Amino acid sequence: GAGVSQSPSNKVTEKGKDVELRCDPISGHTALYWYRQSLGQGLEFLIYFQGNSAPDKSGLPSDRFSAERTGGSVSTLTIQRTQQEDSAVYLCASSRPGSNEKLFFGSGTQLSVL
């Protein structure tokens, strides 16, 4: 596709359920980022991938959060045993090889935990 694609665009789940969010970066982009944005707030860094490896996982809020990337392309962010405070927009971005100078963002997944 032409841009970063995220799915689903909206997800409503019950507290305690697991959810999986997907990000399909721009073809050829080796760096991939996940951010979380609560209503009216800034972007909270979660994790980034360089290829399939994640050099920095320090932003993941708890061990209920995990992320993986396979084939240097699609990434999934998994939240286990969701809590109400997990409700937010989860944004994914990618950038070209060797460049962190311009991130291309997807439209995000709005997660609502009831």
Task: Report the alpha-carbon distance of residue 110 to residue 69 in Å, rounded.
Answer: 21
| Residue 90 binds other proteins (CB under 8 A) | no
| Residue 103 binds other proteins (CB under 8 A) | yes
- Cβ proximity to other proteins: between 14 and 102 the closer is 102
- Residue identified by tokens 């972007």 is 43
Task: Report the alpha-carbon distance of residue 9 to residue 19 in Å, rounded.
Answer: 13
- Please say whether the dihedral angle defined by the alpha carbons of residues 31, 100, 57 and 37, taken in this order, is positive or negative: negative
Site for other proteins in 16-45 (CB under 8 A): 31, 33, 35, 37, 39, 41-43, 45
- Cβ proximity to other proteins: between 80 and 104 the closer is 104
Q: How far is the CB of 16 from other proteins (least distance, A)?
A: 26
Of 56, 64, 3, 12, the C-alpha closest to 34 is 56
- Cβ proximity to other proteins: between 18 and 68 the closer is 68
| Residue 106 binds other proteins (CB under 8 A) | yes
Task: Report the alpha-carbon distance of residue 27 to residue 5 in Å, rounded.
Answer: 11
Q: Which residues bind other proteins (CB under 8 A)?
A: 4, 31, 33, 35, 37, 39, 41-43, 45, 48, 50, 55-56, 89, 91, 93, 100-108
